[in-house]
Chains A and B, each alone.
Chain A
Amino acid sequence: MDQLIPRLPFAEWIDRGIDWLVTTFGTLFDGIAELLEGIVEGSVDLLDMVPSILLAVLFALLAWAISTRKIALFSLIGLLFIDYLGYWYPMLQMLALVLTSVFFAIAIGIPIGIWSSQKSGVRKIVNPILDLMQTMPAFVYLLPAIFFFNIGVVPGVVASVIFAMPPTIRLTMLGIQQVPNDLIEATEAFGSTSWQRLSKIQIPLAKPTIMAGVNQSIMLSLSMVVIASMVGAPGLGEEVYRSVTQLKTGEGFETGLSIVIVAIILDRITQHAGKNKKGGKLT
């Protein structure tokens, strides 16, 4: 039976819009793709030049410097365990993908967060977009990403950036807005410019909250690696995907556990980075 109201051809509009984008901005997308691919592969190569044991020790030292000795020890043992399982190279590939996406998520997210914390007009536009980014199933924007960037690591990175950016934006916004009003009044009363207020008071005080957002972005981007592997992004995600499709339960566990270890290390290190070591605390 025919519908009374003709069906809205929304899907066609989107398709046409994407076609138009691809044909018009094709070279731009190619450029972005090349850049992202270069960054990811470059960092994999760089990490791979260092012997696995040395890299594990370096990671442990970094963990020690930023957080506690316990976490440093966990990092060392965990990384060596992954090496022993034989997933060192896929782990590096995943790490490169995650760090690249997080880098872009932060580089884009923090400025947007700061901007929207200052202007309610911007906030009104940004908030619904963030809702969309967070609730739209990731697979859906994986598809146009393939159109724009072909298959491989790049659509994976792009999808991860989109998926991982909202917490950084939201928590940056929140952290800045949470700075008590009387401190804002104090900076104003002494004649600060908007930039001085932001850079000297609001951002430093929002730092722990912003770092919590960064931490969340890292976790979300890690959760994207398996999905990214479906469009051809290499790494531990790809291994998980393969063992799932080939019903290899044991290997699935090995690779899954490796992801968990990396996740815990990154989480603990960034959590500690957010804590203010000086006496300064909001009361």
Chain B
Amino acid sequence: MQPFTTHAGIAAPLLVDDMNTDQIAPFLPSRSLKDDYEVMLFNRARFREDGSEIADFVLNKPQFRGAGILVTGHNFGAGSSRESAVWSMLANNIRVIVAKSFADIYRENCLQNGLLPIVLEADVADAFIARVVAVDGKGPFTVDLATQRISGPGGPDVAFEIPGADRTRLLEGLDDIGMTMKHVDAIVSWEQQAAKAQPWLQQTTDRRN
């Protein structure tokens, strides 16, 4: 996984709650095993059916085109577990999402891919959103995971909380499977013990075979 240490980028305000993964990464008519995640992101909000851009959408506005930080409301990433809703952010070089809250599975998918999910308390978030709106893309914000601070134009640094374990994993870009495989002996002994205590769990037989 690509580590996350710091990111400096334009912050774009997406002022909604409950943005769902169908909206973030809709199924494209041209779906394939190698989907175009760059085009997928917010596809229906960004593009008309003829492929032309919808100028009003925040990421299509000139000042937010190269945004690397998305600032949004409650329950971001609700709905389906599709990880394309994270991959499509990365394909557009968005590395940080600042929200009032995230849907559980979406947040997990962010952590698996080095996309930093920052949760701000609602009043802090409201103040930060107001600031991002006022700055209007004129100058980048810097997100530093090591110091847990967001700095940038229009005000003082904003501190954020993130569970220490999630922070370490992102900073070091730790391989999730690798971390777990350090416990392979415990997995094996669990299997041996379960095979005695609840043997039906460790067997799958189709009785018709």
Real binding pair: no
Chain B residues engaging chain A, CB cutoff 8 angstroms: none
